[in-house]
């Protein structure tokens, strides 16, 4: 399942099918004797979380978003990464990094449908989202076709 909420399973030929996923959840809830809460029990909520959408101009090259994500990967993996940042070992969409000495994370990914980047940040530290967001915005500032005006 993607951070966007979309999901696909091999048993359904990797189709992004919300109805199929809903039926799977109903079946699992029935196994749990109707307790839908059992499906998420034990999951922890972060202290803070935020999602930001950053548009880029429609005249940007087709691979512009991928270039920004690739640049973020290099930033997080290289010597310029902020203290306490490390690329996550598993990246399936966009690029995710552990931040705040492991007490948070940030993910930058391309939208599949629109010319924009989606940035998700979670933190278990007070003001961790704001601290991480500032670093991300500073990184993104070098990409001229991004609209950072609302950040």
Per-residue confidence (pLDDT) for residue 6, from 0 to 100: 64
When mean pLDDT is compared across 10-24, 92-106, 128-142, the lowest value belongs to 10-24
Structure-token pair, residue 14 = 């990797």
In the three-class reduction of DSSP (H, G, I as helix; E, B as strand; rest coil), residue 117 is classed as strand
Helix runs in 32-98, H state only: 64-77
What is the rounded average pLDDT of the residues 106-130?
Answer: 94
What is the rounded average pLDDT of the residues 11-36?
Answer: 81
Confidence of residue 36 (pLDDT cuts 50, 70, 90): confident
% of the chain at pLDDT higher than 70: 95
Please state, rounded to an integer, the average pLDDT across all residues of the chain: 89
Confidence of residue 38 (pLDDT cuts 50, 70, 90): confident
pLDDT in tens, 51-103: 999 999 989 998 999 999 999 999 999 888 999 999 998 888 899 999 999 99
Sorted by sequence, the CB contacts under 8 Å of residue 56 that are 6+ apart come out as: 64, 65, 68, 115, 116, 117, 143, 145, 146, 147
């Amino acid at each position: 399942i993607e951070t966007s909420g979309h999901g696909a399973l091999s048993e359904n030929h990797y189709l992004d099918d919300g109805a199929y996923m809903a039926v799977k959840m109903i079946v699992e809830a029935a196994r749990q004797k109707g307790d839908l809460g059992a499906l998420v029990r034990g999951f922890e909520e972060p202290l803070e979380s935020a999602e930001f959408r950053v548009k880029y101009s429609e005249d940007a090259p087709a691979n512009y978003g991928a270039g920004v994500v690739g640049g973020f990967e290099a930033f997080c993996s290289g010597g310029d990464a902020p203290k306490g940042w490390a690329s996550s070992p598993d990246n399936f969409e966009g690029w995710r990094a552990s931040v705040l000495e492991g007490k948070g994370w940030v993910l930058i990914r391309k939208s599949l449908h629109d010319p924009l980047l989606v940035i998700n940040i979670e933190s278990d530290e007070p003001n961790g989202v704001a601290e991480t967001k500032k670093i991300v915005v500073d990184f993104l500032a070098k990409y001229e076709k991004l609209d950072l005006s609302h950040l």
